[in-house]
Every structure is written in C-alpha cells, then in structure tokens.
Structure 1
Amino acid sequence: MNATETTATRTAETAEAEKAERIRVGQVREAMTSAAAMEINGVAGRWSESGQEWTATGTAETDTVALVRISDAEPGDVDGVARQVVAAVDHAAAKRQRIGLVLVENDTSAFKRRKITLPNGERQLRTVRPQFRKTLRLLESGRWRTFLSVHLDRTVRDPRDLEDLIDVVEQSRPRIVVDSVTGSLRLACDSDITMARVMCAIANQASRDTARRVSDKRRTLAEEGRFGGGAVRYGFNPDGTVREDEARWIRAAADQGLADVPLGELTRDLNGQGWRNRDGEPWESRNVRTLLLRPCNAGLLVHRKVTDDERRPYTRDEVVGTLPGEPIIEPDRYWSLVAKLTDPDRVTTPGSAPKWYGSGIYQCPCGQGLRVQNKQYKKTNRRTKEVTIVEREVYRCQRTNAGHVTVARAELDALVIETLKEWIRTSDPADIIGVRTAAEDVAALRAEVKRHKDRLIEIADDYDEDRITRQQRDRSTAKRRRKLDAAQARLAAIAQDEDPAAKLVEAPDIDAAWKDLTLGEQRQITRRLLTIEVQPIGRGKRTPVRDRVEITRRRRPTPTAPTPITPTTTAQPLTEAA
C-alpha cells in the first residue's frame, strides 16, 4: 500500500470515527432532553427530568462520579455537555472505571462570582455551582472512590473551588482517585496538587483577561450608543430597536409598578390578559422584577466593572450612553420605578398573589387579614325533606378560635366597591390623588428618601464600629429621621400620574373605568384610600353585612377639609381617620 492509499485510508477511518461520535452525541442528547433510560459501559441508568443527572438504576457495583460542565450555552442546547459525557464514558471504559453518577453543569460559569451567604452567616464572593458542591458532598460521604472530569478547567477555574476539592481528597481514607480525560487534573500526590494549583491560576487569569477585554469592548460600544450584542432582550429586536408588541407589556407592567401594585398581582393580571415570554410561558414575578430593572428599557447604556456584584441594580453613575430612538419608558419614570422596587422597606409577601378583591385588605378586629374560603352548609327542602350541600365563598379570619369574622364574599365586595366609587364621584379630585406641585421632582424626592435611609444605616454602622458615641448616634439619627419623614410626606402628598385612582377621577363613567382596571389596580386603590374592618357576630345571628362593616377613609398627608359623603341605599358612610 503506497503513501497515498495509506492517507486515504486514515482519512476514511477518521471520518467514520467522527460520524460514529456524532451519532453517540446525538443519542446522549436525546436521552438527556427526554429523561430517558441510557446504559453507560454496561450499567443501566436514567437521566433526570432536568437533564442534570444520570443515575445508575441497576444492581451493578459502581464507584465513579463524573462531572461535566460548559460555561455558555443557549437554552435547550446540550450538545457541549453531551460531547463531554461521551468523552468521559470512553475514558472510564478504558480505565475500567464504573460510572454510577453523572452530574451536569450546563451554561454554568466556573469563574463568575456572586455574593452569597455562607453557613456561618458571612457574605462572601463565591462561584454559584450547585452540582460541583453536590459532587464534593458525595465524595466526602465515602460512597464514591473516583472522581472523573474532562479537563481541569471544566472542573475548576476559581482557586477556592480547587482548594475545597483538594481538602476533600486529602482527608479521604483511602485516598479518592481524581482523574481527567486529558490528564490535566490529578491529585494523587503533592506534585500533582502543586501543578493543579498553577494550572488553575493560569486558567483564572485567562478568564480575567477575557472578561476585561469583553468589558472594555462593551463600554466602548455603550459610550458610542451602539448595541453591544448578546442574547436578544425582551422588548427589542436583534438590531437593538424597540419591538413594539413586547414593549407595550413592559410599559403596562411599569405603570402598575409605579402605582405600587405588588409584583405578584401585576404579573397575575397581565398574564391573564395574554402576556407571555419568548418561550410562550406565563411570566413569574421574580423575572418581571428583573425585566423592569433593566436600564435599556429607558434607552440607557450602562457599564460596570466585572468584579462587581452583577445582581445589584444599576445606578445613575454607571450610565455611559444612550440607545438611539425613543425609549420604552421615560428615564425619570424608570429611575422612580427602580427606587420603588429596590426600597429596603418594601414589603414582599411570599406565595401566590391574592385571587380575590378584599383578601388581606379587609381586617378582623383582632388585626388579622381576612382570606377567602369555601364554606359548606346543609339546606333542607321543607316539603320534600331533601338535604343538599350548598357552597358559598366567605371571607374568614385566619384565627380559628371563637369570636372572629366570617362574612359572605360577594356581598361584602359589592358594598365596599360601591362605597368607594360613591366617594370618588362626590369628592374633590385633590382628596383622591392629591395636588400636583410643579416645583417638586418625584424622581429626585425618591432619590432623597433613599439617601436618608442609606445614611441611617451608615450611622448605625458607625456606632457598631465604635466610631461615634451613643449620644452622637441618637442625635444624628433624630436629625436624619426628621429629614426622612419630611421627604416622605412631600412625596406622598404629590399627585402622581401613575396613581391608578387617576383613571377613575378623570373618567366620565366611573363604573366602566372601574371594570377596565386590573384586579391589582383595584386592590391598590382600595389599600390607599380605605381601611375596612368587619365585626364578628354571634353564632346563629343574622345581621346585614352593611351593619357589620366599618369603612374608614385614609387621610392624605396634606390635610384637607373633610368632605361629607351622603349615604346612599347601596353605599356605607365613611368615617375619617388620620
């Protein structure tokens, strides 16, 4: 066989091997994405629903756990980790290692760090890698005697992570075998550990160099007002221009956020109107918060050092340029929204958003909010003696002992809504939404409030660090509190365009305008304007709902003359409360 024939044969063999590898990668990809059963080197197993773990299900003895990772991948793209799985399986077969568990870190950086809370309560910068941490726990348990990866930099790029792995290996008896497909990661002796430290430091420096170059390039593009590339953001086209069919939802969410509608409620309401993300799925409130905090919504381009906490909202000082064209949200409204969503005093409620109008707003005299429940009772037909089970929705105090409130939901909601609308019809608009003061800047006032709150925290820190005395702390705190209270009072007294009650004040038909509001907006108007307390009644008594309800008007920070409300046949009179 001459040289030409030998080269052709080798080329054909290489092509055949590459084709076989592509087929195997495709098989692994299919199994990962469909949570299917798959055999690895004669050991039966199955992939988890998330595609992040393969676990042996047979009775064969296994002793090896494998970890594969890729830094950057599009959603649903598992080709990179599938290729690493194939490489790890082939290497294990050659070394006669029995893989019993494969852990996958897809689209996971081993370099980027975030501030997390450690078990001892300290806040530190660490890489966020749940699967790597799980690997360490499994190795520490003593069940697994071999750890396998493709390459050192697929396992660690942060020296702290490497030291954690070294600690687990050195404390194990017998010593855990650490192996890699490329031979770059071995921890069998001191020389291996020293080399691993050197290579990890080099990989870490390479990541830092890449991050710095990318950061510098993005800053240059931002300063020139050009789109920096990356994944196409919701509300924008690939070229960075506004996509109007998505932008309208962002505006709607921002309007409700500025009106203090809770994120869970505005997300529920907009999802109910057909709002969907790029995958066609309903939005979740935590993703809506991230969406609303993006500076690009206001046409702003920002730049931040790569070492900073990426989850911290951007500030005005980090703005370096503007996008061409009209923004989705005006910048002043955007900064007002940021101030609201990042306010440390903002009350957040875990769990699902309230489904009913008065849930948590109506109060029992004990101070507990009322929630809706389905109440069943028996109804007997006097003539036929037939007994039927009837269900009705009631507001009920969450405390279960005697003396607390139960009241029909539909009747109470109708009474409160009609009373509220009657007050709005007969009142001065200034009593509902305040008076616009041209000299006041809403965004500046919110920034001032935040500045005072930050200064109060600094004063407390100075006292904790013994930099000031107790008397200095008390004096400084009192002065700062007065400034904070004054700023908050001015802010609360200003009529704001985003106040949902403005839609009712300006409407020719309040009934129609009320129906056009979302449930979250209706609830927020009620929270701002009224307090509703429902009195309990004794067992067996029948008292009309209107005789059990005390509806009190909340007074705005700027005092105004009381506005008398003439009771109607359907509305409950209001009383004033400071």
Structure 2
Amino acid sequence: MSPTLRAAIDTAAGGRQRAVIYCRISRDREGAGLGVTRQREDCEELAEQLGLQVVEVYEDNDLSAYSGKPRPDYRRMLDDLRDGRAGTVLAWHTDRLHRSPAELEEYIDVCEPRRVETRTVKAGHLDLTTATGRMIARQLGVQARYEVERMVERQRRKRDEMAAKGQHFGGRRPFGWEKDGMSPIEFEFDCIREAAQSILAGASLRSLAAGWEARGIKTSTGSTWKGPEVRSMLLRPRNAGIVQHRGEEVGAGQWPAPLDEGTWRSVCAVLTDPARRLAPGNERKYLGSGVYLCGLCADGTTMRAATSNSRNPGSDTRYWGAYTCRDKKHLSRRRDLVDDAVQLALLDRLAQPDAADLLAQRENPVDVRGAQRDMREARATLDELASALGSGAMDMRSYRVASETARARLAAAEATMSRAVTVNPVAALVDADDPDAVWNEMDLSRRRAAVAYLMTVTILPARVGRQPGGGYWDPESIRIEWK
C-alpha cells in the first residue's frame, strides 16, 4: 500500500493516523515488574497525546526478546505493518520491541519503506526513515544487548557460587520441598521413596502415575502426574542431595534428601536401561510376554502374546488369546490357562514354610562406602586438573591424558553405586498375612517382576487329545524351575 493511499484511508477514518501498540513482559531487568496492562495504559495515553487512533494491541506475555523464542503477536504485528494496517507503532520502550540486532534489522526493513514511525513512552520518537534515526535505533539495540548479556553473566556467576555452596538456585518448587528448595515436605518425601522402591521392585512409570492420580497426588504445579513426569522427577540428583549445575553433578547439596545415593543411582540405572520400554504403547499387557520361554527353541527365545486362529475346544469362540514363540510358529498355548497355572504355582510357593528364604540377596554386598570414596577422590582430581588447565600450567593434550584415569575411576564408582540397591519384588508377598490379596492388588508390572524373579517358566508342546480328567488342558506342558 502506498503512503498516499494510506494517508487517504487515515483521513477517511476521522483525521487521526492509525497506530498499533506492542506490549511484552519478561524477566528482563529493564521494566521488571511492569505488567502488560500498565504498558498498554501508558501507550494508550501517549496515543491520546499524539492524536493517534489505536486499531490493534499486540501482547506477548512472559516472552523474552533476548531468548530468540518465537513471539506470536510480534510476528503478527510485522505482517500487519507489511499490509499497511498502521503508520505508527507505540511501545513502552524500544527494548520491548527487540533486543536482537537481527530482529531490529528486520523491523527496519519493514518500517523504512512504508515510513512507519516508532514512538515510545520512555525512549521518545524513533524515526527509522532517516539514517540518523536508524543509527540511534541500532545504538539503543546494542546498549540493550549489552545490558542483557551483563545481567546473564552476573546470574551465571551467582549460580556458580551457589552451586559451590550446595544452595538451591530458585525457580519452580521442586516436588518434595517447599518453594525455598530446602525445607522438606514429608508426605512428598514419602511419595518419592515409595516410587523409588516400586521402580526397583519392577513397577512401571505408568502404573505409578495412575496410582498417584487415583490418590489425588499432584505435581508441584498442581498438574496430574504422567509417566514421563514421574521419570524426570525420579532422575533428579537433588533426590540424593546432589547439586546439578550445567548438566553435571558438582557436589553435595545443603538440603535434606529423601533417598540415599545408592538407592537413587539404582533407580537411575533402571530408568535409563536401554532395554527398558518407555513408550506407553509398548508397555506389556500380559503376564508372560517376554518372560516365558519357548520349550522348542534352545537359545532362550521368549513367548509373545498373540491371537490363535484355531477354534477354542469346547467353545463357540473362534479366536482366543495365546502365547506363541517369538521367532517361529511351532508352538502356541492358550494364554489365560498358562497365566492361571503360573500364578497358582507362585502363590503355592509363597505359602510354604521356607518362603522367607526368598528374601535372601543373590549377589554379594556392594561396597557403597568405597564407591563413594572413589567418586569424591576422582572428582577432586578432575577439579585440580581443570584448574591447572585453566591457569595454563597444563596444555589440553596433557589434561586429556591425565584426566582419563580419573574419569574411568569415576565411571566405575558410579556404576558400582547403581548396583548398590536390589529390591526383592516378592518381599511384600512374603511378609503379607494374605499373599493372595496382595497379589490381586499388585499392578501387572510388579506381577511380571515377581514371576521373573522367582521362576523360569518354559512352555512345552501339549499332548494331543483329551487329558486325564476329561479336559484338553495339559498341565505338564508348563515347566516351572524355581530360582
């Protein structure tokens, strides 16, 4: 749209030039505490003083121009300016519009050929149609960028100092602690401990989230728990009293922790295991899929859940659930009958007088104290080497050679700590007065863990025809070996 045509339209609108207002609030120091509403009111007052007609207000709340994240209303304003919708942009300050040189240049490219004026409450008139005005705009942009970068440097130094002292950085309230990040909330501490023990006992993240939802337990922001949120929460180093800074563990925190380091690292080892299926759509739906073994394969091939294409004997149902060999089609058994036999055998075993022996650990105890000592010493060595590198006393090649041994020692100690806790998935069943009732209350992931812990179930070919007793089910086609 040409300037002449725009002026004609503005005159037809009542003799007042059309203007738009842009408002933005972020965590930037300049304008801190100045809400979008206050910015808009000041800009509307400026429009009245200049005799401008405000035709649109664009607002981006809690979006920093420095961060580079998309600002929807800012982009929409530029599109409207390209279409000639207004001849003046009103803002509280130039840094509300842009703090990036690239953004400023784009803004100039939009405003200069269309002779769009920029007027601000605090920085005055910005005439981008002249070389002097563009120079002033660029200088203001450079100054704003400098202020932001200096603020970021101060914040980073402050965080480095707080990390060294084991202090909380602030931000959103972490689940388990008050907003100060230091004072524990005992109920949420109990939830973290319960979740950690459940994961180590074989429970799934999805079942934990569902259980918390049923009990009305919310996240620190009041949202409903989902599997990924539970996982992220359990992986936090702060749960073990460890400070994480810039993605690395840097020392001990000053806050109380719900988990000891061995337990936390064991949970992390389980949750980060590449073999663990994390997608909800891939979660196991049956007791024996991936657990039961095929008796015709000699390489430990497991059974998978499938649907049989043969008629179920004694029933009008044509298709029925089955377990079949994962690799070949040479073995298939009815799923519900196999699961019933396995569950009955497990509960009968728990009813035996020696059931308490199932709580015995199968592995040698882990030297937790030794692992912790190795971790501390390895980290101290790496800190000393990094200091020598930074001061110039050591070159990069020497640093890499010298740090290799310390990093290997640290990795070995962390791996040892990840094995520090082994939770018996049948402990709750052994200690229960009524194991059947406890079993019925357990979610599928814990039942699967108990089966895998106690027994090796092998599916064998069944004898053909009716079995003794008149039925078709052959109980001898399931071989159970107790571990």
Give me the TM-score of the superposition, normalised by structure 2: 0.59
| 1:335 alignment counterpart | 265
> What does the per-residue CA deviation read over 1:257-277, in whole Å, with 9 as the maximum and x for residues that have no partner?
344544333222332333223
SS at match of 2:265: helix
Structure 2 distance, partners of 1:257, 1:193, is: 61
Q: What CA distance in whole angstroms lies between the structure 2 residues aligned with 1:417 and 1:518?
A: 14
Counterpart CA distance in 2 for 1:218 and 1:85 is 34
Per the alignment, residue 178 of structure 2 pairs with: 237
* Structure 1 residues 435 and 339: alpha-carbon distance in aligned structure 2, compared to 1, 3 A threshold: closer
* 1:438 maps to 2:365: yes
* Whole-Å separation in 2 of the counterparts to 1:549 and 1:272: 41
Letter in 2 for 1:349: L
Shift of 1:281: 3.8
Instruction: Determine the C-alpha separation between the residues in 1 that align with 2:89 and 2:162.
Output: 42
| Equivalent runs, 1:486-525 vs 2, <5 Å | 496-504=421-429, 509-515=434-440, 517-525=442-450
Aligned equivalent of 2:36 = 81
Please say if residues 185 and 196 of structure 1, whose CA atoms lie closer than 8 Å, have aligned partners that are also in contact: yes
Match of 2:102 in 1: 163
Change (3 A) 1:178 1:419: farther
8 Å CA contact 1:88, 1:149 repeated in 2: yes
**In the alignment, structure 1 residue 299 sits paired with structure 2 residue 238:** no
Shift of 1:574: 2.5
Q: 1:226 to 1:95 in 2, by over 3 A?
A: same
1:247 maps to 2:176: no
Q: Secondary structure at the match of 2:24?
A: strand
Distance 1:362 1:545, change over 3 A: farther
| Alignment-derived partner of residue 198 in structure 2 | 256
Matching of residues 216-235 of structure 1 within 5 Å: 216-221=157-162, 223-224=164-165, 230-235=171-176
Matches within 5 A, 1:156-235: 156-157=98-99, 159=100, 162-164=101-103, 166-167=105-106, 170=109, 177=116, 179=118, 181-182=120-121, 188=129, 192=133, 194-221=135-162, 223-224=164-165, 230-235=171-176
Would you say 1:266 and 2:208 are equivalent positions?
A: yes
Q: Which has the larger radius of gyration?
A: 2
Q: Give the drift of 1:367.
A: 8.6
Q: Which has the higher contact order (CA 8 A, sep 6+)?
A: 2
For residues 449-485 of structure 1, give each alpha carbon's deviation from its aligned partner in whole angstroms, at most 9, with x where no partner exists.
xx9xxxxxxxxxxxxxxxxxxxxxxxxxxxx9xx99x
Matches within 5 A, 1:254-403: 254-259=196-201, 261-278=203-220, 280-300=222-242, 302=243, 304=245, 308=246, 312=247, 314-315=248-249, 318-319=250-251, 321-323=253-255, 326-341=256-271, 343=272, 345=274, 347-351=276-280, 356=285, 358=287, 370=305
CA contact (8 A) 2:117 2:127 kept: yes
What does the per-residue CA deviation read over 1:490-522, in whole Å, with 9 as the maximum and x for residues that have no partner?
A: 999x78433433434555653344345444423
- Letter in structure 2 aligned against 1:297: N
Aligned residues: 402
Cα distance in 2 between the residues matched to 1:424 and 1:109: 61
Question: How far 1:246 sits from its partner (Å)?
Answer: 1.7
Identify which of 49, 55, 63 aligns with 1:98: 55
Q: Deviations over 1:306-359 (max 9, x none)?
A: xx4xxx4x42xx125422xx4211133223334444x37364533468595549
Unaligned runs of 5+ in 2: 1-17, 295-300, 308-316, 379-407, 463-469
The residue type paired with residue 345 of structure 1 is P
1:173 CA displacement: 11
1:154 to 90, 96, 104: 96
Q: Is the 8 A contact 2:350 2:430 kept in 1?
A: yes
In the TM superposition, what is the alpha-carbon distance from 1:362 to its structure 2 partner?
7.6
Contact 1:69 1:81 in 2 (8 A): yes
Structure 2 residue 79 is matched with structure 1 residue 139: yes
Give 1:417's aligned amino acid. Answer: Q
Which residue of 1 is the match for residue 13 of structure 2? Answer: none
> Do the aligned residues in 2 keep the contact of 1:299 with 1:322 (CA within 8 Å)?
yes
Q: Which moved more, 1:232-241 or 1:494-503?
A: 494-503
C-alpha displacement at 1:253, in angstroms? 1.8
Residue 244 of structure 1 deviates from its aligned partner by: 0.7
CA contact (8 A) 1:250 1:292 kept: yes
Cα distance in 1 between the residues matched to 2:174 and 2:332: 48
> Residue 18 of structure 1 aligns with which residue?
none
Residues of 2 paired with 1:405 and 1:202: CA distance? 74
Answer yes or no: is the 8 Å Cα contact 2:209–2:225 preserved in 1: yes
Deviations 1:88-119 (A, max 9, x none): 566678543532x7453x3334445xxxxxxx
CA distance in 1 between counterparts of 2:36 and 2:459 reads 60
Q: How far 1:423 sits from its partner (Å)?
A: 5.7
User: Are residues 86 and 327 of structure 1, via their aligned partners in 2, closer, same or farther at CA, if it must alter by over 3 Å?
Assistant: same
Q: Is the 8 A contact 2:78 2:107 kept in 1?
A: no
Question: How far 1:136 moved relative to its partner?
Answer: 7.3
Superposed CA offset, 1:152-201 (max 9, x none):
333444x3xx4156347638996595746445877556655554444334
Structure 2 residue matching 1:322: 3-state secondary structure = coil
What residue identity is the alignment partner of 1:275? I
Cα root mean square deviation, aligned: 5.9
Residue 343 of structure 2 is aligned with which of 403, 408, 417?
Answer: 417
Question: In 2 relative to 1, CA 238–431 (structure 1 residues): closer, same or farther, beyond 3 Å?
Answer: closer
> Closer, same or farther in 2 for the Cα pair 1:81/1:440, shift >3 Å?
same
- Corresponding letter in the other structure for 2:55: R
CA distance in 1, matches of 2:185, 2:176: 5
Matched, 1:574 2:480: yes
Name the CA shift for 1:364/1:527 in 2 (closer, same or farther; >3 Å): closer
Shift of 1:69: 2.9
Q: Is the 8 A contact 2:24 2:96 kept in 1?
A: yes
Distance 1:263 1:371 in 2: 25
The structure-2 alpha-carbon separation of the partners of 1:350 and 1:438, relative to structure 1 and needing over 3 Å to count, comes to: closer
